[in-house]
Amino acid sequence: MAEYADIIIDISHEKLDHTFQYRIPAHLAGKIYPGVLVNVPFGRGNSLRRGFVVEVKGQAEFDEDKIKDLDSVAEDSVAIESQLISLAAWMRKNYGATMNQALKTVIPVKQKVKAKEKRMVCLCMEKEEAKEQLLLFQKKHYTARARLLEELLAHPEISYEIVTQKLNVSPAVIRALEEKQILEITKERKYRNPAGHLRKSEYQVKLNDMQRKAVDTVLSNMQKGVQKTYLLHGVTGSGKTEVYMELIADVQKKGRQAIVLIPEIALTYQTVMRFYARFGDRVSIINSRLSQGERYDQFLRAKNGEIDIMIGPRSALFTPFLHLGLIIIDEEHEGSYKSESLPRYHARETAIERARMADASVMLGSATPSVDSYYHALNGRYELIELNRRVAEKPLPLCDIVDLREELKKGNRSILSVKLQRLIADRLAKKQQIMLFLNRRGFSGFVSCRACGHVIKCPHCDVSLSLHKESGKEKLICHYCGYEEAKPSVCPECASKYIGGFKAGTQMIESVVAKLFPEARVLRMDFDTTRSKDGYEHILSAFAGHEADILIGTQMIVKGHDFPNVTLVGILAADMSMNAGDYRAAERTFQLLTQAAGRAGRGEEPGEVVIQTYNPGHYSIVTAKKQDYGAFYQAEIAMRKLVSYPPVSNMLLMLFTAEKEKEAAYAAAYFAALTAKAEIDGLKIIGPASAAIGKVKDIYRRVIYFKHQDYAQLVQLKDRIELFLKGRTDLNQVNISFDFNPINGI
């Protein structure tokens, strides 16, 4: 039977959607697959044109008579597009999506935009004079001005965006210094390296023994032609970034390129400047603020060989480097590496596949590796490299756990424990800063007892049940399997009547703090206060400038930011992330607590952390207090094994969305029954159930989870379902999509 190939003639792209179908002649059978560059007869004259194969199909989608034969494989080309298209095909297969969605993810759309002028902030005062000015600012506690001037003394030209976005200095402050003729803003058409004046040698550090060993391990493998995935496990400050840079320098020396993925939120000013200082204008940075057109320009520079190193969040993975040698994924445990739109790919797995295609290596780095990666490292799929000391020994912050059950017994029903209140008062008196952290991420409304800490869980799935209100009645639902029970009115463990939904919000905390500490200046950072375009930066720069004493916020505040004056971090309700209703809740709690603790005591003063919880004996809290990753991992992996969760098993989520609840429910039930009938060996079907967020913008959401030891079996199942769906017009009202090993909570 003949096969057919969909071809893109013009990869430069408004036309990505526009493919042409050709028949694959018998003599080319088996040589045509996604990414191959071919010659095809085109147009009326049938002149030969080149095009990329994006998909091979078993059936013609047009009138058989009108389909032409593909001519030949174009021999000479090593186009980077070939590699990216085959990567897209791999993503489509392994994560589920249409080929078009996959292509749009890996190939940026070209848009005709005018090249933007780059603004630079330049020091225009003599250094000596500037130093005097700096002293003046410091004396007057103009912290933002001082910070900017200090940086300008070190780097006399810095790009405007980096000053506002990474140094957290507001445009108003820049303008004020411009008016005083301390600095000027110049417009550059071409991008200049903001640290170009530095001599490279100034920035070389000599690696310590541990770092040297890490680098040598990778380099000697590369020398032998062995390309691998490494997991670099090292606490914050253990020198991971220096290891990355040393490896990149070597890759660069060999004429190859490197991609560095860093979660956007952790891509701080200090990090950016370190890469510039070492690699000058051979490095480029992208972030989500860039328009499609700007991103395209950056990718074009990469393709043209103008740069060797690309730094950025998830999407930087698709930088079209032709001789890619190394991919680094820093903070590899971060949830932002998983895409939430189709294809729902994970940057880690996709990086490993891209590296395999390019014969490159991958290095994953983290202080708190994901359970998945650590599991693969212990099983030998990755090579584990550890940096177990900090470069400059700084003591870990002091960490106290406060048992909120005891608070209740003592009659304190406030969200702030007595201990935390006392410490806040102490820091306010000392003019030091405080961060209060409330994690609402993935929060789904569990029910717990304030007297004994008992949390009501699903008897089948070992996750917390979520509280739902339906026509006035309260019930508890499992978001994996759909199990339901009525909400109890007394605690099943201790019969206390203090059982109920867990309520806490950043706004509520703000008002509690305002009442208890009327003299304190408070900033709040959450979804509401950061919705405006620069809200996030404004709050951070105000807090960095000590315009507030207390910063209250969600997980947004725990990442990456250095506030040397913060000496107290309060984690108000560790239980919120611990009982989030999904199997990664404990892992996320451990990571968040470890990170939050890392925010305290970054400066001269030692830091202190208070963790408030109803469940002080929970292993994620006990191990986070001791900063003992190994102990956490052992406890967690035992639980995953017991209940067959990833990475021990694999999970496929099938999501049904529809405008009518009945239709979503019907389709979900239908597919649950259908897959059960297929009797696939080793397949577990869980659900159907209402999704954790059962309704979004009036669209109803239902889920089924499939579990299987073997990922490939789940891919096959998805393929079979997709095929089955092709013929079914009766299910048109329901949108069906897939998510492999979901992590962000659906």
Binding residues (CB under 6 A) for ligand ADP: these are 205-208, 211, 234, 236-242, 391
CB of 312 to ligand ADP, least distance (A): 17
Could you tell which of ligand ADP, Zn ion, none binds residue 238, using a CB distance below 5 to 8 A set by kind?
A: ligand ADP
460 is a contact residue toward Zn ion (CB under 5 A): yes
Of 133-141, 210-218, 458-466, 540-548: span binding Zn ion (CB under 5 A): 458-466
Question: Among 343, 291, 313, which residue's Cα sits nearest to residue 108?
Answer: 291
> Two tokens at 394?
């700084």
Query: What is the DSSP code string of 385-396?
Result: EEE-S-SS--PP
456 is a contact residue toward Zn ion (CB under 5 A): no
CB of 538 to Zn ion, least distance (A): 42
Do 23 and 71 meet the contact criterion of CB atoms below 8 Å apart?
Answer: no
493 is a contact residue toward Zn ion (CB under 5 A): yes
540 is a contact residue toward Zn ion (CB under 5 A): no
Of residues 424-453, those binding Zn ion (CB under 5 A)? 449, 451-452
Q: Considering only residues 123, 125, 408, 491, which one is a binding residue for Zn ion as defined by CB under 5 A?
A: 491
Q: How far apart are CA 67 and CA 322, in angstroms?
A: 34
Q: Considering only residues 478, 525, 548, 568, which one is a binding residue for Zn ion as defined by CB under 5 A?
A: 478
> Two tokens at 709?
């030891």
Q: Considering only residues 182, 481, 572, 592, which one is a binding residue for Zn ion as defined by CB under 5 A?
A: 481
643 is a contact residue toward Zn ion (CB under 5 A): no
CB of 367 to ligand ADP, least distance (A): 7
CB of 581 to Zn ion, least distance (A): 10
CB of 2 to ligand ADP, least distance (A): 55
Question: Among 505, 508, 499, which residue's Cα sits nearest to residue 446?
Answer: 499
178 or 493: CB nearest Zn ion: 493
238 or 373: CB nearest ligand ADP: 238
185 or 265: CB nearest ligand ADP: 265
CB of 496 to ligand ADP, least distance (A): 44
Angle subtended by helix axes 506-516 and 418-429, to nearest 10:
60
- Within 11-75, strands assigned E span 20-24, 37-42, 47-57, 68-69, 72-73
Task: Find the DSSP H helices in 483-527.
Answer: 506-516
Q: Considering only residues 90, 375, 480, 502, which one is a binding residue for Zn ion as defined by CB under 5 A?
A: 480
Q: Considering only residues 20, 191, 203, 483, which one is a binding residue for Zn ion as defined by CB under 5 A?
A: 483
Q: How far apart are CA 189 and CA 335, in angstroms?
A: 36
For residue 647, is the peptide bond before it cis, meaning its omega torsion is within 30 degrees of 0? yes
> Two tokens at 6?
């969909």
Do 499 and 490 meet the contact criterion of CB atoms below 8 Å apart?
Answer: yes
Do 219 and 211 meet the contact criterion of CB atoms below 8 Å apart?
Answer: no
CB of 643 to ligand ADP, least distance (A): 33
Could you tell which of Zn ion, ligand ADP, none binds residue 307, using a CB distance below 5 to 8 A set by kind?
A: none
Question: Among 610, 595, 621, which residue's Cα sits nearest to residue 422?
Answer: 610
CA angle 349, 350, 355 (to 5 degrees): 100
Could you tell which of Zn ion, ligand ADP, none binds residue 460, using a CB distance below 5 to 8 A set by kind?
A: Zn ion
Could you tell which of Zn ion, ligand ADP, none binds residue 491, using a CB distance below 5 to 8 A set by kind?
A: Zn ion
113 or 205: CB nearest ligand ADP: 205
- Say which residues have a Cβ less than 8 Å from residue 565's Cβ, sequence separation at least 6: 432, 433, 546, 603
- Within 591-639, strands assigned E span 608-613
36 or 215: CB nearest ligand ADP: 215
